[in-house]
Structure 1
């Protein structure tokens, strides 16, 4: 049986932790079962002190809450309700321990792993009760937890809880923490004497959120997010911010006082840069950080804790020389393709591999259109009808209006190179000129005919698809901006296209490429075109793997979804929360673990219905398997593999909103 973890995702809560032990219930140690220096035993029957717990405890696979340690527990109901605190470092899962110690020699034989799984987590008359005692160091909470998919009744939960409480020195403080929606529903039947602590309450008492695990050396700066509009950052800055900004240029480390969502653009860019990113409550007034303001420091974001220390200028320079990004070379543009293509015809597999087919399509049609083409040719996957405009027409626009020559002048200007404020101003002028420039007449004629024939009466979304985004190793999430145009007002369409093309020259995008030593003139932009989503009921992002389980032993889909409207799911306004959950789609019972809830829906309700969650799960499974030959195990990848997916639920008035997948790209992972 794979070990289970308890995944908690970063969202700020105002909810107080009401289930913490009162002062008279503070934990008091008993006599230790083990003497200092004793070797770790296979198990203990009771835990008398912190030392006993520490010897047996392992770091949980879940690394989203720092400082958590767990000891797995087994109650053998056949053998007089004997309780075992197993050595969880040696035996990572219950089955390993049970089959080694509680099988035969007068006890019933423990069968296969498959039989064990089906019986001991689901059967009412199961032999074993299985759980874990987890200590959350940040909030100082001792919690008994079951697997998210465990179907134990309240009576069985109570039996295990009381046994663990009586056998552990922490018993007076022990709470029950439901790890899934189903477990939480059954826990409502527990007696009032058993304190239940929800994920929301547990997380409210946590002050550190590790997002991207990495180390960087840079100059520590404190900045209010609103000041970023007039303050320029250097590549080698590590910034402390009061909240997640709408926009931020390239830096080597980020600490935000406001907690982030794991799929925010800022975090995905940090993952792409391999630079540390973390949330820390009250970071702006943190004494340790403030003491180092303006100094060169080494910041390390770890799975369970963080550290910062001052370094010398010489050490900082040496670190930069050793760790500065390896120059990224983009796929060379293919300007031989000049026809518009229906999206199904962009990636053609032939007899070659999917990976090679994608590589062949990206030079002409960019990463977004190429991946969308694979989605569109995946059976039973709902996507919108679309077509792609090749990169040739961007190059034609640039050449016919003299923009490449103007760009050469900018790049050769020493003041442009040296001063970020000059770069920002000149790039703004450059974009303004692009937005006012004429568009080739033959291109306009071709586009008018295509839209009239295949998309009559529809407003259209013109989406960026460059050779420098949605790529393996360089996703560049949020680098470029797409726009909508209404063909009934042709100038509106031209404006949308020009604004989309011009987003190549946004300041933040330019700085991102500069950080990676990318040749700016090598960028080309194709367009992915489809009917827009004018008023969707829900929008979201998802990963086709569990980002807090790098081992792959706790598979699940991570989903972040919000009701339709103005609140972006990857960057919500201050104080706005979304639904976030782990969906164990391939587990019996389809366990669903909500990590946070949207505060834009009625309390107690969720953004998606159970039927919509299942519909989404089927799509995510299809996407995960479909792209495996390009990026996953079927491509020889034995490490992290997940697709980053954007989706909508949309429907006409009176219709049940249905799923539409917007895009998928390889996700870089969470760091080491």
Structure 2
């Protein structure tokens, strides 16, 4: 019997190797330990003149697939499987004479010929040699991966490393795998044409590569390095996901073939690999082939769910930047300012201008916290257990330099001089005077308010008025109501001497030097506004406004100032809105609450930082019927935040009335991208997170609802684009809800701050 065929079999049960089968006294595999990334390592006494192949099978009788090979020498040879240990995998080691080498990949060249060629190729597949400037047929190390990679955006993973791969003849027993050099080749087709000599058209290539598992001849995808991923088994940080174009539903057979080829050709990177079904299109096929994927997961395929991929990440970049300030742990009672880098253990309901933001609970790109960070260029990141992080804890109470990047965060101690210098460098050098038109002196219906009236009513009111001019799809609505102009706020403040009162408070030295004194003074000012005497003519106007609604209607009174919802400045969350119920008496009671929010601490601090004139700030009020109860609420951006080259929309959604922008009890919203990515469907959905308030496997809004919302977002984008004079990188941010009748309600829209 040829000793090269003698197997030494091992069965993995619960990841613990147990020797089985025959052994040979000249070479026998020891019980395999696991390396740091939990890949089985087999040791065998080797000899010169032979090379050794490690083979894996789901059964002790085969079929066998070679997963590693190496030439022999006098000594103990280690062979490491290409993937981490799974529940049921059998292994054999085959010794092959160098004088009679095998052709493992069946390409007509022996394994040794491929190793020893002046331009070596990969014995695991039939791909030919290509110039290193174009790519590789194998990744011999993580350095090889890094040399080919570029940084790109993926839903839930901004600015991560990606290496593209292409597998030709994937439908045959002799596939060819290539890793592309992203610096030179951005698209799979042009790589195939210019490097591999593919002669078909782009249309032909797409037909052979994407969207159909029946006609598929090739596979094109990406290897995405999630450096911050923490495996649940405690092995070293990092995961490379194998992903395909989101609208390309790749079947199990092709997923397995790609995974086998890639892991065997990139085994020395030192990083584990897993297949990630990144879109709802792929998740749907995954569920339909669940039996196949489940069986493969026992012996040959690692997969990772979206919720686990991002749920196991201890760091997420929300907004890159650099800030200087004192590092503090927010306890809910102390005041914070632009001189503080703040660790929040839960998401705050409101937030002032800060030097840096760290949250111990996940955020989304569309939360009010991150919208404020983007507006102010504030570094913002989720860092799990930040207060106990050994890099952060020793710096609590000290001045620091804090920087957030896609790779992680950087922090060091800083001097008070650095803090002050940085603060002054980012503040506007001169006072800013917000535009305030006081020439409109009457309440107007939204139908009588235009986009240009924003300077008299505020951008929120003017934009809702514009939303009502859009031709909506059935089952979509926009609130209808009235706008109270700035003139009313200004006249009320003057009639009660409240401008003079505010000026006197601000003139007190302690107002600027003592945060507690300032907070108490602003609280007293807000109280004075809420208790101020309303002139009779204003009361009469409010009574007439209220009479326009059916008796018993509760009215939503929404803040609409002249320094929020502007291009380049959202002011999200600075001011307050309130609901007026019939039992509360005159409408003026609730309107005064809205007016008083001009002097909220967070709003004052924000204006102070930007040197905005507090006395030119004016408050209008948008009044419309209140929506009692809702099935879902959310926000969205009329832009593909991941890859703007493809039309798409980024959406956050949450069940019921738990706001996406200011979540209660750290509830996690549903976060997804819906985009036009070719394929069988008009839209493709890619989820980043699923709502923590929904049962597992259920989404807040259905696919038809998401598609309806996307269609309306396109209308909003196209309506406002010319109104804002076609700025580059334009997008609108909107708030929406689904009411108890199932109707989609567009609540408001404002320019997105990129």
**TM range, normalised to the smaller chain?**
0.7 to 0.9
Alignment of 1:233-382 (within 5 A): 233-327=336-430, 329-347=432-450, 358=451, 360-380=452-472, 382=477
Q: Is the 8 A contact 1:102 1:110 kept in 2?
A: no
| Gapped regions of structure 1 (runs ≥ 5) | 1-19, 348-357
TM-score (norm. length: structure 2):
0.77
Give the aligned partner of residue 232 of structure 1. Answer: 335
* 1:206-247 superposed Cα distances (whole Å, 9 cap, x missing partner): 1111111111222222x24xx23x212232111223232223
Give the aligned partner of residue 228 of structure 2. Answer: 138
Q: Is the 8 A contact 2:160 2:406 kept in 1?
A: no
Aligned pair in 2 of structure 1 residues 544, 636: CA closer, same or farther (>3 Å)? closer
Residue 570 of structure 2 is aligned to residue 471 of structure 1: no
Q: What CA distance in whole angstroms lies between the structure 1 residues aligned with 2:179 and 2:720?
A: 41
The CA deviation at 1:108 is 3.8
Q: What CA distance in whole angstroms lies between the structure 1 residues aligned with 2:284 and 2:485?
A: 52
Q: Is the 8 A contact 1:484 1:493 kept in 2?
A: no
More helix by share: 1
Residue 246 of structure 2 is aligned to residue 148 of structure 1: yes
Residue 716 of structure 2 is aligned to residue 623 of structure 1: yes
Give the aligned partner of residue 218 of structure 2. Answer: 128
Give the aligned partner of residue 672 of structure 2. Answer: 581
Aligned with residue 652 of structure 2, among 547, 560, 572? 560
Give the aligned partner of residue 544 of structure 1. Answer: 638
Residue 269 of structure 2 is aligned to residue 178 of structure 1: no
Residue 188 of structure 2 is aligned to residue 94 of structure 1: yes
Give the aligned partner of residue 16 of structure 1. Answer: none
Give the aligned partner of residue 648 of structure 1. Answer: 737
Q: What CA distance in whole angstroms lies between the structure 1 residues aligned with 2:429 and 2:131?
A: 46
Q: Is the 8 A contact 1:557 1:585 kept in 2?
A: no
Aligned with residue 166 of structure 1, among 248, 264, 269? 264
Structure showing greater Rg: 2
Give the aligned partner of residue 198 of structure 1. Answer: 305
Q: What CA distance in whole angstroms lies between the structure 2 residues aligned with 1:369 and 1:317?
A: 38
Question: Highest relative contact order (Cα 8 Å, sep 6+), 1 or 2?
Answer: 1
Larger deviation: 239-248 or 464-473?
A: 239-248
Alignment of 1:575-614 (within 5 A): 575-585=666-676, 587-588=678-679, 589=681, 590-614=683-707
Larger deviation: 160-169 or 538-547?
A: 160-169
Alignment of 1:15-30 (within 5 A): 22=38, 24=40
Q: What CA distance in whole angstroms lies between the structure 2 residues aligned with 1:434 and 1:157?
A: 65
Give the aligned partner of residue 752 of structure 2. Answer: 667
More strand by share: 2
* 1:590-614 superposed Cα distances (whole Å, 9 cap, x missing partner): 1111211122222221111222112
SS of the equivalent of 1:59 reads strand
The CA deviation at 1:383 is 0.7
* 1:385-426 superposed Cα distances (whole Å, 9 cap, x missing partner): 122111111111111112112112112122222211111111
Alignment of 1:448-487 (within 5 A): 448-486=543-581
The CA deviation at 1:21 is 5.6
* 1:426-467 superposed Cα distances (whole Å, 9 cap, x missing partner): 111111121122222222223323332354442111111110
The CA deviation at 1:71 is 1.3
Aligned with residue 175 of structure 2, among 60, 69, 81? 81
Aligned with residue 322 of structure 2, among 215, 221, 231? 215
Q: What CA distance in whole angstroms lies between the structure 1 residues aligned with 2:431 and 2:751?
A: 17
Alignment RMSD, CA only? 2.8
SS of the equivalent of 1:41 reads coil
Aligned pair in 2 of structure 1 residues 526, 208: CA closer, same or farther (>3 Å)? same
Aligned pair in 2 of structure 1 residues 385, 28: CA closer, same or farther (>3 Å)? same
Q: Is the 8 A contact 2:543 2:586 kept in 1?
A: no
Q: What CA distance in whole angstroms lies between the structure 2 residues aligned with 1:382 and 1:88?
A: 45
* 1:99-128 superposed Cα distances (whole Å, 9 cap, x missing partner): 32344xxx542335xx65566322331332
Q: What CA distance in whole angstroms lies between the structure 1 residues aligned with 2:583 and 2:202?
A: 70
Give the aligned partner of residue 77 of structure 2. Answer: none
Q: Is the 8 A contact 1:65 1:208 kept in 2?
A: no
* 1:319-364 superposed Cα distances (whole Å, 9 cap, x missing partner): 33333345563432111101222213211xxxxxxxxxx4x32220
Q: Is the 8 A contact 1:58 1:69 kept in 2?
A: yes
SS of the equivalent of 1:122 reads coil
Q: Is the 8 A contact 1:34 1:51 kept in 2?
A: no
* 1:231-276 superposed Cα distances (whole Å, 9 cap, x missing partner): 1223211122323222333221111222222222221111111111
TM-score (norm. length: structure 1):
0.86
Q: Is the 8 A contact 2:82 2:264 kept in 1?
A: no
Give the aligned partner of residue 50 of structure 1. Answer: 142
Q: Is the 8 A contact 2:347 2:663 kept in 1?
A: no
* 1:546-568 superposed Cα distances (whole Å, 9 cap, x missing partner): 3344xx23542111111113x22
Give the aligned partner of residue 8 of structure 2. Answer: none
Aligned pair in 2 of structure 1 residues 438, 203: CA closer, same or farther (>3 Å)? same
Q: Is the 8 A contact 1:67 1:305 kept in 2?
A: no
Residue 748 of structure 2 is aligned to residue 658 of structure 1: no
Aligned pair in 2 of structure 1 residues 279, 48: CA closer, same or farther (>3 Å)? same
Q: What CA distance in whole angstroms lies between the structure 2 residues aligned with 1:108 and 1:474?
A: 51
Q: Is the 8 A contact 2:346 2:666 kept in 1?
A: no
Give the aligned partner of residue 25 of structure 2. Answer: none
Q: What CA distance in whole angstroms lies between the structure 1 residues aligned with 2:431 and 2:206?
A: 46
Larger deviation: 569-578 or 403-412?
A: 569-578
Residue 615 of structure 2 is aligned to residue 521 of structure 1: yes
* 1:603-626 superposed Cα distances (whole Å, 9 cap, x missing partner): 221111222112111111111222
Q: Is the 8 A contact 1:337 1:364 kept in 2?
A: yes
Give the aligned partner of residue 393 of structure 1. Answer: 488
Q: What CA distance in whole angstroms lies between the structure 1 residues aligned with 2:199 and 2:190?
A: 16
Aligned pair in 2 of structure 1 residues 310, 207: CA closer, same or farther (>3 Å)? same
SS of the equivalent of 2:627 reads coil
